[in-house]
Homo-oligomer: A and B are copies of this chain.
Amino acid sequence: MALETNNLNFGYKCYNLAKKLWPINRSLTGVGVRQTLSIIKNIIPSITVHEIRSGEHVFDWTIPNEWIVREAWIKGPNGEKILDYMENNLHLVGYSTPVYQKLDLIELKNKIFSLPKQRNAIPYVTSYYKESWGFCMSQEQLENLPKGRYEVYIDSEFKSGSLTYGEVKIKGRSQKEVLISTYICHPSMANNELSGPVIATFITEFLQKQKDLRYSYRIIFVPETIGAIAYIKRNLKELRKNVVAGFVLTCMGDEGSFSFMPSKYGNTYADKIAKHVLKNLQPTFKEYTFLDRGSDERQYCSPGVDLPVVSIMKSKYGEYAEYHTSLDNLEFITENGLAQSFDAIMLAIQAIEVDCVLTATKKCEPFLTKYDLYSTTSIKNSTTNSKRIVDILTYSDGSNTLIDIAELIHKPVWELYNDVNLLAKYKLISLSSEKK
């Protein structure tokens, strides 16, 4: 009982991978996604990269064309580039159509997005499903633009191609599986989104090293929304049959408190496990409701899909000032923040791996002295380590799993693993997967 860890510095490894993935101009489709998956493949050679052709129908949606950008800039009245997409890929509105145009400052301003209240931040803007073009810059820069004639150039192209996603399957003893889903469609932003894929990568590496997993694992790296929808379309039957718990990995790298996004009704096995972990790691974690959702749980929990999927996050998307701006950068996430999230996910996975129904084999309390589980001289206020043992036994009546028992006796489940091993060793409990 318990997964093998070897105290590797996961925070450090995650952060380093984020640095590597940072410069890539990811979008829904195209070369950015492929480059990202290719770097991840160095760590997880067994990842399978799938392509879905542009134009294919996935439920109510259609896979879009690939968006290709070669160049994008604005030149000022004096002919110098005042903005270049090569310097920061947030400068260009995602899925901008090609354009070459000269226009006055006042016209230019209609095509520029900025954040008046965050004067030094470049916003992240996309226009996936309506033909349009535009640029993003900081409010400071915008306000300092001199009057005059500007030249804008976007050398972009839409081409029938495909949508790309990565998938890893790890076989456990059971066909039942845990789903881990993260997304790879945002350009240079760190918490949302690089924290998700880097943790997913090293969770995968970690799981692949385990010798004996109970559950199978499915880890997917998809473009948000359309990618998740496409993935569900292709795998719905399997997912509905097998997934016992799922986690959308996003916003996991900053130093903020933990946040929790429940499933649609907040009552699935994934909710129970995740809340238990967070409550015991950080009692003050922030619990959102499904009305606050915003990532791929929107698809996983939608009618007819209804998977038990939740998110364990640090600062939640939409809830921190740097979100969806150039300030969500490599300084906003830390090794420590990533390591904390990694641990939370690992504790959740471990809890799922070892969870089972406990049934005491003997009636009444056992004679603990026999098993060296009891201090032998009873004096008022003596501290014995047998209380927790007996508490576990008491609720091992066949109606509770280990996580239920941890909840009932108000202990982190990971503090019980050693006791449960002892109890099983002495045959004082039997373990099974079914409640009586």
Known: A125-B379, A126-B378. A364 touches B232 (CB 8 A): yes
- A369 in complex: contacting residue of B113, B130, B232, CB < 8 Å: B130
Shortest beta-carbon distance, A366 to chain B, in Å? 4
Stretch touching chain B among A5-13, A36-44, A395-403: A395-403
Q: Which residue of B lies closest to A136 (CB)?
A: B379
**What B residues does A324 contact at CB under 8 A?**
379-380
**A303, A359, A367, A379 interface centre (most CB from chain B within 10 Å):** A303
A219–B393 CA distance with the chains assembled, in angstroms = 27
Q: How many copies does the complex hold?
A: 3
**A157 on the interface (CB 8 Å rule)?**
no
Cβ contact within 8 Å between B236 and A303 = no
**A370 on the interface (CB 8 Å rule)?**
yes
Q: Count the A residues whose beta carbon is within 8 Å of the partner chain — how many?
A: 63
Cβ contact within 8 Å between B303 and A360 = yes
**A390 on the interface (CB 8 Å rule)?**
yes
A214–B363 CA distance with the chains assembled, in angstroms = 30
Cβ contact within 8 Å between A60 and B125 = no
- A60 in complex: contacting residue of B318, B367, B395, CB < 8 Å: B367
**A290 on the interface (CB 8 Å rule)?**
yes
**A127 on the interface (CB 8 Å rule)?**
yes
Known: A303-B393, A396-B303, A398-B303. A363 touches B59 (CB 8 A): yes
| Contacts A62-B367, A125-B377, A303-B363 known; 14 new A-B pairs at CB < 8 A | A60-B370, A61-B364, A126-B377, A127-B376, A129-B376, A130-B377, A225-B365, A264-B397, A290-B394, A302-B360, A303-B396, A304-B360, A304-B363, A305-B364
Please report A residues at the B interface, Cβ cutoff 8 Å.
59-62, 93, 113, 115, 123-130, 132, 225, 228-229, 232-233, 236, 264, 290-291, 298-299, 301-306, 318, 323-325, 359-360, 362-367, 369-370, 374, 376-380, 390-391, 393-398, 409-410
Can you name 13 A-B pairs with beta carbons within 8 Å?
A60-B365, A60-B370, A113-B379, A125-B379, A232-B364, A264-B395, A298-B365, A302-B363, A302-B364, A303-B363, A304-B364, A305-B364, A325-B380
